[in-house]
Amino acid sequence: MPHPHHTPPEAAPARPAGGLTARSGEPLLLRACRREPVERTPVWLMRQAGRYLPEYRAVRDAVGFMELCKTPRLAAEVMIATVQRLGVDAAIIFSDLLPLLEPMGLDLEFAQGEGPVIHNPVRAPADVDRVLELTDVDRLGFVMDVVRATRAGLDESIPVIGFAGAPFTLAGYCIEGGTSKAWLHTKSLMYRHESAWHDLMGKIARAVSRYLVAQIEAGAQVVQVFDSWVGCLSPHDYRRYVLDHSRAAIAAAAQRVPVIHFATGNPALLPLLREAGGSVIGIDWRIDLDRAWEMVGHDRAVQGNLDPAVLLADRDTVRRCTREVLQRAAGRPGHIFNLGHGILPQTPVENVLELVAAVKEG
């Protein structure tokens, strides 16, 4: 990864067209999203530019997290260099789920060692009224600049993935004021004040929809919706309190590009994720891929689903477990290889390279 003040993205060397062939004309990832036959399974990894990379840690020693996210040249450079080092088949923009909440009136801080903190959480129905409707994405223009700079610095064989948090996960952060183990404040508002809950979720869903469309207009060829915390709900509660809002958040983007709809924590939600939308359903590691695909339906593509902790093992184990996921996909068109969640900070880089090599070998 280059030093943050070196080569601008538009001048970065183009990666060889490993995901593109003369006969296909399109990147592997895009064809897999549409369940078209591909020469090999495409692979990219959630949190592929992160703390496990020494080059990334060197950048972060000089630049705070939000400063990096809001400096498009640096954010693009970090991801471009990561894609080139790992040899993956897609670049997800370097950003975070939560900046979307700032123009909606939430006071967001990434506290050192504590992660995200919202200093004015939504705890009562009256608090929902002060959450602003996001009528435009002007204050998030830096994210669209990251999309453009990332696209400009990559070979055409590497699609750029934009992303946003799903309504439930963003609402959880708004209400808890940060992350949580049990999401008790969130569930309390959801159960006790259903009307206010739906008002909040509606505002967030409309914001997510506008945000995703803006990223697509800036050059994102795929978008992923992360529902990182929705696994704390039962299927019944997902249908009652979440499904319609997730559908509303996804619908406009899905008319333009493939949407990857990803949730963690509860495989019983997979049929409902399909119902909410997405041409690709992301699978976490808590269920075997073949069983998950049956639940989703073979008329949808799937993404996943190696346990990120496997990458802490020896390289032979990484290769064996990677092959097991590929065997469960059984060569069926529409599989994108990924982890079941983001790369862990303790992961050895050589194990990530081993994983990518094993996927490419098939």
**Which candidate in 34, 47, 73, 328 is catalytic?**
47
CA–CA dist 287, 269 (Å, integer) = 12
Across the chain, where does the E strand assignment appear?
Answer: 91-92, 108-111, 115-118, 160-165, 222-227, 259-263, 280-282, 301-306, 335-339
The token duo for 68 is 């990096």
Catalytic residue among 52, 56, 173, 238: 173
Nearest C-alpha neighbor of 193 from the set 183, 203, 185, 181: 185
Place of tokens 């040249």: 73
Helix axes of 243-254 and 167-176: crossing angle, nearest 10 degrees: 130
**Annotation marks residue 130 as catalytic:** no
Helix ranges, 87-223 (H): 125-129, 141-152, 167-176, 184-192, 194-218
- Name 265's bridge partners: none
Catalytic residue among 34, 96, 307, 328: 96
Catalytic position from the list 51, 85, 274, 328: 51
Maximum CA pair distance of the chain?
A: 58
123 is catalytic: no
Helix axes 349-361, 315-329, angle to 10 degrees: 40
The verdict on whether 199 is a catalytic residue reads: no
Strands 222-227 and 335-339: unpaired
Catalytic pick from 60, 85, 240, 247?
A: 60
Task: Check if 319 is active-site.
Answer: no
Active site residues: 47, 51, 60, 96, 173
